[in-house]
Chain A
Amino acid sequence: MNKKENFFKGIIKENPLFVSLLGMCPSLAVTTSLENAIGMTLGVFFVLVLSNFIISLIMSNSKLADLVKPVRIPVYIVVIATLVTIVEMVMHAYLPSLYFSLGVFIPLIVVNCIILGRAEAFASSNKPLDSVIDGVGMALGYGLAIMTISIFREFLGKGTLTVWGDLQVNLTFIFDFLKIEPIAMFVQPVGAFLTFGLILATITAIANNHKNKLAKKVANNG
């Protein structure tokens, strides 16, 4: 797999959220606003890229890899937990509103299946540079997925899009024009499942349509 494919697979083909369905619990919980989704993406980006790099660095040294192999899962957890704690401390100190908003889901990044999954499935058996590229692609794919969910949820539930702090786009005029109120259910947990299900169904329908077209093309050519 070349570097370009390695990068883009995490964004579309192997998107951790919409294709692999990994890390759904925190993803659905924090997508009540776009700002939360951006904050979570930054945290996951930092942890995923660095954990992939460090784990790949350890495992690419054959002598060290032999010693680490029997205790590799505890080693992954120690590395990931350290990076998550750094994110937590820095966010608490410099982005307190985001820290309080994301709450318990920051420390929960430690057990995010995406990060542990990439460490075991990719970083442990690939070179550091490839692992960093894989981490960047996966983190961006994850970020795009949760930002998409949060845009739908915040817009439909509150009529706004909070990008960062006071930078908020007020779209309530659309609801005023339609003479309806924002649908508060969408910022509740039920709205998360509904939005996620609808986006997943749309993506599956598009993918199936694409597959059918390809199959027809092959049949016609044959």
Chain B
Amino acid sequence: MNKGLISGLVLLTIGIVCGLLLSVVNYFTAPKIKEVEDAIKYEALAEFYTLADYDLSEVEGTGDFGTIFILKTKGTENIEALVYTVSAQGYSGASQKIQMLIAVNADLSIEGYKVVSHAESTGFGADIVDNDFNVTQITDLSRFDSVADVTETSNGILTCFTLVSQRVGNDLGGGLSE
């Protein structure tokens, strides 16, 4: 048989073995990673609202949206706030997007926001995601400034807010089905 073909088959076999090994590791780590990510989300949610005061439910979003948390007045169907889990591409590419939680009250004011996961560069993008962008004071998103040298990261943050602003009015008006 052609030697090049055999070499290719050897490479394929090594690749399959590595893939199997990764699936085993993923089997054990995936639940723990989900736990870690949920803990971060609920910790952030608790920073925005006293959760005991609301009926909390969740809807799985599509596309760039992850879980959407719905906070209703206890015992009623009145939506008091929506907290979006939304992702956008920063500097680290499409596979490691910046993920944010953005909390919007029923009057369309932003209660809070938090970057829950990212893989931006240490010392550059990673530093700005924890900064206070003061977004609650901004009424016109086009005035949101990029941060020098970390344009891709700040554009990712801006995209998250833009995505939420495009749908929140409709969602609060009853467009969100549980």
Contact B29 A74 (CB under 8 A): no
Q: Which of A70, A86, A104 contacts B92 (CB 8 A)?
A: A104
Residue B63 interfacial (CB < 8 Å)? no
* A85 CA to B33 CA, complexed, in Å: 14
Mark each residue of chain A from 154 to 183: 1 if its CB lies under 8 Å from any CB of chain B, else 0.
000000000000000000000000000000
Contact B22 A100 (CB under 8 A): no
Which listed segment binds A: B8-16, B49-57, B139-147, B164-172?
A: B8-16
Contact B36 A188 (CB under 8 A): no
Size of the B side of the interface (Cβ < 8 Å), in residues, is 31
Contact A92 B29 (CB under 8 A): yes
- Total A-B residue contacts, Cβ distance less than 8 Å: 90
Report chain B residues within 8 Å CB of A69. Answer: 7
Residue B117 interfacial (CB < 8 Å)? yes
Which listed segment binds B: A15-23, A75-83, A200-208?
A: A75-83
Residue A48 interfacial (CB < 8 Å)? no
Majority SS of interface residues in chain A? Answer: helix
Contact A100 B118 (CB under 8 A): yes
B36, closest chain A residue (CB): A96
* A34 CA to B174 CA, complexed, in Å: 51
Contact A89 B25 (CB under 8 A): yes
Residue A30 interfacial (CB < 8 Å)? yes
Residue A46 interfacial (CB < 8 Å)? no
Report chain A residues within 8 Å CB of B119. Answer: 103-104, 107
* A93 CA to B6 CA, complexed, in Å: 38
CB distance from B126 to the nearest CB of A (A): 5
Give 12 CB contacts A-B under 8 Å. A29-B121, A67-B7, A70-B7, A71-B7, A74-B11, A78-B18, A89-B26, A93-B36, A94-B32, A103-B92, A104-B120, A107-B96
